[in-house]
Amino acid sequence: MEHVKQIAHEHYDPEASKIGMWLFIFTELLLFGVLFVIYSVYRYLNHGAFELAAEELDPFIGAVNTVILLISSMTIAMSTTSLQKRNRNFTLLLTGTTFVLGVVFLVNKYFEWSGKFDHGIFPGSEYLINNFSQGEILFFGLYFIMTGLHALHIIIGLTLIGIVIWRVSTGTINADRPVLLENTGLYWHLVDIIWIFLFPLFYLII
């Protein structure tokens, strides 16, 4: 056992972990990039319908969620600095705030989605197929896929932040081994920046 631990320590390379995270972020960007390409193609082909469908979405809720995510990105960035200054409690407070803000985002999203479902707007619904044009059906299809996939990333991010909170409190993440917190922060910023593009594409361009 002792031998194994020694090897594990030898392999610890924070620089490698960071490069790995950046490479993983590339793959995530490509994943969403495909969806943005599909969005562009269909927006180009169904210009009017996309404008019409976008009016069904409430820019206010979208704006609130944007502000929530921006603040949460700020708090997790601050938590990295706080960890470097060896202030464990403040780090916990900041990562905890990020976690809560992420949950609030999801709650908002839940009410927004269920509002759409109540109006019969969801993929495959009779109401949608009978009352809306093909361009509008595509808009809502993309809306649910892209915000849904984004919400899935928020959930993954929240899981990571949960692990970070636990490990900061037990001290396995500390000023000398901050990589997991830093990488979680990077991931959270990625989730944030994808939303920064989703928000105008679905809510603002009318």
Q: Interface residues with other proteins (CB under 8 A)?
A: 1, 4, 7, 10-11, 13, 15-16, 19-20, 23-24, 26-28, 30-32, 34-35, 37-38, 41-42, 46, 122-124, 129, 133-135, 137-138, 141-142, 144-145
Shortest spacing between CB 13 and other proteins, in angstroms: 6
In the complex with other proteins, the residue whose CB is nearer, 148 or 200, is 148
In the complex with other proteins, the residue whose CB is nearer, 13 or 58, is 13
In the complex with other proteins, the residue whose CB is nearer, 28 or 56, is 28
Q: What is the DSSP string of 104-163?
A: HHHHHHHHHHHHHHHTT-STT-HHHHHHS-HHHHHHHHHHHHHHHHHHHHHHHHHHHHHH
Shortest spacing between CB 154 and other proteins, in angstroms: 17
In the complex with other proteins, the residue whose CB is nearer, 99 or 139, is 139
Shortest spacing between CB 57 and other proteins, in angstroms: 17
In the complex with other proteins, the residue whose CB is nearer, 90 or 122, is 122
Shortest spacing between CB 110 and other proteins, in angstroms: 18
Shortest spacing between CB 85 and other proteins, in angstroms: 28
